[in-house]
Every structure is written in structure tokens, then in C-alpha cells.
Chain A
Amino acid sequence: MSFAALETRLNAAANKRLANATAYLLGGESFAVIFDNTYLAALGGQVTAAQPQASALQSDLDRLDVSVGTALNIRETDYTVRDLQPDGTGWVDVVLEAA
């Protein structure tokens, strides 16, 4: 088995075990994500806010044509994809913006 095939298999297993949310597109398609919505002290602590971010498989994003500007619903909250940051190992950090 090639290294790439091993990596794909490992990523799929990790995603299956670690995903904690489902991202839905407007058309109803979905994919699993590792979702995080941590506290953020914006404007030097002047505004309490959040920093929503999801990690997803590159293959899922490619399959569903997710790109910057795509509308997603995660945990019943609407977001827009602000940026896609691939880590080079098959995972992508999906930076989200409240819609």
C-alpha cells in the first residue's frame, strides 16, 4: 500500500472517530467536521467574541465543491467559509464567519 493510500485511510479513520459535528450545505449535502468555537477577546479584550473553525477532509471539500464564500450550517448556526487552510496532510482548517 502506498504512503498516500495509508494517509487517506488514516485520515478517514481519524475523521470517523474524532468528528464532533456535521456541516450542511444549502443543498442538504453534508460532511463530518471537527468543530471548535473557542472564546476570542477581540479588539484587545474590548469585545467578547468567538472564533469558529472546523477541520475537514480535503476529499470531502473537493467532493462537495466547498470554497471561500460557501454557506454552511453547523450545529444549527449559519456560517460562511472565510478561508480554507490546507495542512498538507489531507486536512483543511475551515475558517468560518457568522452569517
Chain B
Amino acid sequence: MATSAQLAVRDAVATLYAGLATVHENRDLALPTGVASHIQLYVVDSNPERNFVSSVAPVDWTTKLRTVIKARLADRVTAERAADALLTQCYANVMADQSLGGLVQQLDLGSIEWDQDEADATVVMVTWEITVIHRTQVNTLT
């Protein structure tokens, strides 16, 4: 089964997050009861640099990826600290391999947003976006 370059890029980021927490790719899962934290990774959108089709020129795609980190109080570590530790590690891992294994030509940083809510303890969600530029041939998305 062929995989689009967009999902290949997302998979490359997921690999960089492996071992930090459970990573869910393009799934809208609530952080379940009893789970301290998890990471959700999305391809948000992907836009070609040009709309006209040439028979020979490759296409450069600008693809936005969104990382969502959710955490709750666990083992007396507050949700904010747990989410922050995950964010810091996710960032460091991506910055250590900015080409995402050679798949992308350029990586641009996006915003980081924090959301919190009060439950039995404070729960936190951190959203971080990056944009990458990667190339495909005009006749394929792989």
C-alpha cells in the first residue's frame, strides 16, 4: 500500500516521539481515565507551492503538523509540569532531526498554545504546530 508523503512525514515525527508517551496519529481521543498523558499528532493540511501542473517539474508541498499533548496530575507531578516535560522532549527530538529523516527540505516553527481546566485536579492540553516543506514528483503523492 502506497503512503503519501504527507503521512510519511507525520509517521517520521511520530517515530521521534516514540517512548515519550503513547502517540495517537490523527485520532480525536479523550485522555482516558487512569492514563497520565498521551500525545496526538495530526496532519492539519498540505498545500502545493503552485496549482498549475507541469509534466516535469516536481511539487513542493507545505504541510502543517499539529502535536497535542494532554496530561493530568499523576504521582504528585502536576499536569502542567508533565505536559511541559513532554513538550520539551518532543521539541528537542524534532529539532535534533530537522529533516525528519531526510523527508523534508525545511522545517518552520509554529505557535505553542496552552489550555487548562479544573477537574479532580488541573488538566492541561498543549498544542504545538510546525510546518514542513517537502517535495514530490508531479505524478505521485509518495
Give the interface size class of chain B: 10 to 19
Contact B121–A97 (Cβ < 8 Å): yes
Q: Which of A8-65 contact B (CB under 8 A)?
A: 37, 40-43, 45-52
Residue of A nearest to B76 (CB): A99
Contacts of A68 in B (CB 8 A): none
Q: Is B96 an interface residue when CB atoms closer than 8 A count as contact? A: no
Contact partners of B32 in chain A: CB under 8 A: 48
- Of B10-18, B42-50, B112-120, which binds chain A? B112-120
A96 at the interface (CB under 8 A from B): yes
Check if B123 sits within 8 Å of A42, measured CB to CB: yes
CA distance A43 to B65 in the complex (A): 21
Counting chain B CB atoms within 10 Å of each CB, which of A37, A47, A52, A97 scores highest? A47
Given A40-B119, A42-B117, A43-B115, A48–B31 Cβ distance below 8 Å? yes
Check B125 against A46 for contact (C-beta < 8 Å): yes
Interface residues of B, Cβ cutoff 8 Å to A: 30-33, 70, 72-73, 76, 115-121, 123, 125
Chain A: residues with CB nearer than 8 A to chain B?
37, 40-43, 45-52, 96-99
